[in-house]
Amino acid sequence: MDVVVGEALRQAARVKTLARDALGPQVVEASRRLAECLDGERRAYVVGNGGSAADAQHFAAEFTGRFHRARRPLPVLALSTDTSVLTGVGNDFGFDAVFARQVEAFGRQGDILFAISASGNSSNVVEAARIAQKKGVFVVGLTGRHPAALDRHCDLLLKVPSVVTARIQECQMTLLHIVCDLTERLLLGSADEPADESTILPGKLLAMREEWRQQRLTVVSTNGCFDVLHAGHLDSLSRAAALGDVLVVLLNSDASVRRVKGPGRPFSSQGGRAVLLQALEPVDYVCIFDQDDPAAALAELQPDVHCKGSEYAAALPEREIVERFGGRVEFLPRIIDLSSTQLIERLDVV
Ligand SMILES: O=C(CO)[C@@H](O)[C@H](O)[C@H](O)[C@H](O)COP(=O)(O)O
Ligand SMILES: [Zn+2]
């Protein structure tokens, strides 16, 4: 049993690694086309059978609903959902027509069709792609490694480098999620942001805050240099995260640490410190700030709860700003007795 599990997971990881090397430009192009289509008030359609019908619906729902960012609903439609069409058209015109006839009815120049098929040979998917091209609809095909009938009716092909149906499908869904992400970034004008969505750029805090407010999420923040990360940090971050829904760590920039702690600091660059923090399970977002203290960042973030170690309980200058925006300050007792300063002193001895 363990061997089967291990082998499937290894295979799935390998297919995705191969896809990363082979399909990057095609995924970007598919996203660019989709963003252009939706920005121009055109529509996208998605077709597939069985598991791919589920993927088509999943993908479409990310657009009518949301994927990651707050934005207007976007018209991406799975053509596998209307049982009256599927049974009526299937019964009267044959199963090959169930998607094609819908594409014929709705498709217009400038629209996009995503045709998902692990084999690439399902006649109803191939027929939908053929009719789409005739109507000036741009066709993005997602298939597996084998040459397939669908290949001839696509304007852009994403061929997952595998011949195993399950692995192809899993990778197709990953690619579709990436298309969701890139398309949102392109539409919202932030395609050049760092790929890591958990780093908030200064100036974006207000927008994120508004999004979380709409979702009624309790926002928790904390701040620090986190220069020489240790188990005590993980412990207090876990306890901070437990106080709400989203934990944002406000991280002193390199220049800020240098001013606050002296010219020899930080030991790790702000990028390195941010990456380590993001890798910790309790941390949702990291925002690097450049001032000596986090007051300006807190004024934008307006956290519901701001956490600091209990050693700051006597005087915390940020308290006033947190409370001004209706938040409260929580002082977390240090349970694991570690501090970066102690660690650094010990390292100096060695
Ligand atoms: O999910 C699976 C297999 O993993 C099945 O439901 C599978 O999608 C169905 O057999 C489809 O009919 C296969 O069609 P296609 O993807 O090859 O076009
Ligand atoms: Zn499946």
Question: Domain coordinates of the chain in residue numbers?
Answer: 2-187, 199-349
pTM of the model: 0.61
ipTM over 0.95 threshold: yes
List own/partner pairs for 55-60 with CB under 8 A and 24 or more apart. Answer: 55/116, 55/169, 55/172, 55/173, 55/176, 56/80, 56/114, 56/116, 57/81, 58/173, 58/176, 59/114, 59/173, 59/176, 59/179, 59/180
Residue the block writes with tokens 């570690």: 338
Distance 52 CA to ligand 1 centre (A): 6
Tell me yes or no: is domain 2-187 CATH 3.40.50.720.
Answer: no
- Report d(CA 311, CA 335) in Å as an integer: 12
Q: Which fold has domain 199-349?
A: Rossmann fold (3.40.50)
**Amino acid code (one letter) for 255:** A
Index of the ligand 1 atom closest to the CA of residue 166: 4
Which residues, judged by CB distance below 6 Å to any ligand atom, belong to the binding site of ligand 1?
49-52, 117-119, 122, 125, 165-166, 169
Ligand 1: residue whose CA is nearest its atom 1: 51
CB atoms within 10 A of CB 66: 17
Note the pLDDT of residue 255: 87
Ordered per-residue pLDDT tens for the chain, 350 residues: 888 999 999 999 999 999 999 999 999 999 999 999 999 999 999 999 999 999 999 999 999 998 887 778 999 999 999 999 999 999 999 999 999 999 999 999 999 999 999 999 999 999 999 999 999 999 999 999 999 999 999 999 999 999 999 999 999 999 999 999 999 888 876 544 443 556 676 667 888 888 899 989 999 999 999 988 888 899 999 999 999 999 999 999 888 999 988 888 888 888 888 889 988 999 999 998 888 999 999 999 999 999 998 888 888 889 999 999 999 999 998 776 667 777 667 666 44
Note the pLDDT of residue 250: 95
Fold matches, 2-187 and 199-349: yes
Note the pLDDT of residue 204: 76
Joined tokens for residue 238: 């876990």
Distance 242 CA to ligand 1 centre (A): 41
Ligand nearest to the CA of 48: 1
Ligand 1: residue whose CA is nearest its atom 6: 50
How are strands ordered across the β-sheet holding 138-143?
76-78, 44-47, 112-116, 138-143, 156-159
Residue 183 CB contacts under 8 Å (≥ 6 apart), including other chains: 31, 34, 35, 38, 63
Q: Which residue, among 130, 165, 127, has the nearest Cα to 146 in the 3D structure? A: 165
Q: Which residue, among 233, 225, 217, 219, has the nearest Cα to 250 in the 3D structure? A: 225
Helix/strand/coil (H/E/C) assignment for every residue in 163-205: CCHHHHHHHHHHHHHHHHHHHHHHHCCCCCCCCCCCEECCCCH
Q: Please enumerate, by residue number, every residue annotated as part of a binding site.
A: 49-51, 58, 62, 91-92, 122, 169, 177
Distance 122 CA to ligand 1 centre (A): 9
Distance 51 CA to ligand 1 centre (A): 5
Task: Indicate the helix (H) or strand (E) that contains 158.
Answer: strand 156-159
- Report d(CA 126, CA 118) in Å as an integer: 12
Grouping H, G, I as helix, E, B as strand and the rest as coil, residue 304 is coil
Q: Please enumerate, by residue number, every residue annotated as part of a binding site for Zn(2+).
A: 58, 62, 169, 177
Report how far Cα 14 is from the mean position of its chain's Cα atoms. 21
- Report d(CA 246, CA 142) in Å as an integer: 35
Backbone angles phi, psi at 266, to 5 degrees: -85, 165
Distance 169 CA to ligand 1 centre (A): 8
Ligand nearest to the CA of 127: 1
Index of the ligand 1 atom closest to the CA of residue 52: 8
